[in-house]
């Protein structure tokens, strides 16, 4: 399973990239706006930090406009992956971009039928938004299970399932159990994933025992 970071905050990206477990980064217009920085500059900087797919989203609503926005973004770095919305014009743009060898991440996916269309269009990644489904009382993870299962039936589908809108560490656990290719994770959830109280108490006990052994008579450590 791959782990992407879901943020446009370069300081956070540096922090978690240093753990050695980050395979890529996803951004969206809201995250870029929150960073307060120039879109292209942030994407270029992220590409210098993480050597893996870096999603940059287009905002045009027609396929021609999406492709026009995608080309300069893709020229920033070979790892730039163009994020397009899962609408008919987005599918058209995905087909054009994948035909040109540009990686795509089809975003705002909320159904298996949408995911099938993304795969048919040649998307590199499809991003089902599980948290937003949970928010309105549906079970987002069921969608992941459906897409993983359906894609497995069709060897001609090469689209990777990128679990998005991750809201808690249990979403990541369930994504791993469902066999999702990738989860894109907000930084604060990375901290929750790594933490376990038994790890902390176990480590404290080991260190305390080590200190007492060092000071005990006749023990040389």
Tell me, yes or no, if 83 is annotated catalytic.
Answer: yes
Using CA atoms, how far apart are residues 145 and 139, in angstroms rounded to an integer?
10
Binding of ligand E4P by 164 (CB under 6 A): yes
Q: In terms of CB distance, is 28 or 104 closer to ligand E4P? A: 28
Which among 91, 94, 68 is positioned nearest to 81, based on CA atoms?
94
Task: Name the closest residue to ligand E4P (Cβ).
Answer: 165
Cα of 186 vs its chain's centroid, Å: 9
Contact 162, 126 (CB under 8 A): yes
Least distance between ligand E4P and beta carbon 4 (Å): 8
DSSP 15-80: HHHTTT---EEE--HHHHHHHTS-HHHHHHHHHHH--S-EEEE---SSHHHHHHHHHHHHTT-TTE
Using CA atoms, how far apart are residues 102 and 71, in angstroms rounded to an integer?
9
Least distance between ligand E4P and beta carbon 2 (Å): 13
Give the x-and-dash track for 32-71 against ligand E4P (CB under 6 A). ----------------------------------------
Q: In terms of CB distance, is 167 or 204 closer to ligand E4P? A: 167
Please report how the helices 63-74 and 88-99 are oriented relative to each other, as an axis angle in degrees rounded to 10.
40
Least distance between ligand E4P and beta carbon 31 (Å): 7
Contact 33, 8 (CB under 8 A): no
Least distance between ligand E4P and beta carbon 39 (Å): 14
Give the x-and-dash track for 98-137 against ligand E4P (CB under 6 A). ---------x-------------------x-x-xx-----
Q: Which of 16, 22, 26, 118 binds ligand E4P (CB under 6 A)?
A: 26
Binding site for ligand E4P (CB under 6 A): 6, 26, 28, 107, 127, 129, 131-132, 164-165, 184
């Amino acid at each position: 399973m791959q782990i992407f970071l879901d943020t446009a905050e370069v300081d956070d990206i540096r922090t978690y990239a240093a753990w050695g477990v980050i395979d890529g980064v996803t951004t969206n217009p809201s995250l870029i706006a929150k960073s307060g920085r120039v879109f292209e500059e942030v994407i270029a900087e992220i590409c210098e930090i993480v050597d893996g797919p870096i999603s940059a989203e287009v905002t045009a609503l027609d396929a021609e406009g999406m492709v026009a926005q995608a080309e300069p973004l893709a020229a920033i770095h070979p790892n730039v992956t163009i994020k397009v919305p899962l609408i008919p014009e987005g599918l058209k743009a995905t087909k054009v971009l994948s035909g040109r060898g540009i990686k795509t991440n089809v975003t705002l996916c909320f159904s298996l039928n949408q995911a099938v269309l993304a795969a048919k269009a040649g998307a590199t990644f499809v991003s089902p938004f599980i948290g937003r489904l949970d928010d309105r009382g549906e079970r987002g993870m069921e969608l992941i299970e459906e897409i993983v299962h359906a894609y497995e039936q069709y060897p001609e589908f090469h689209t990777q399932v990128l679990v998005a809108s991750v809201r808690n560490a249990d979403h990541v656990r369930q994504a791993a159990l469902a066999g999702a290719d990738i989860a894109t994770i907000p930084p604060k959830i990375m901290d929750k994933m790594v933490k376990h109280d038994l790890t902390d108490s176990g480590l404290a006990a080991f260190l305390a025992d080590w200190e007492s052994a060092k000071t005990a008579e006749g023990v040389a450590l």
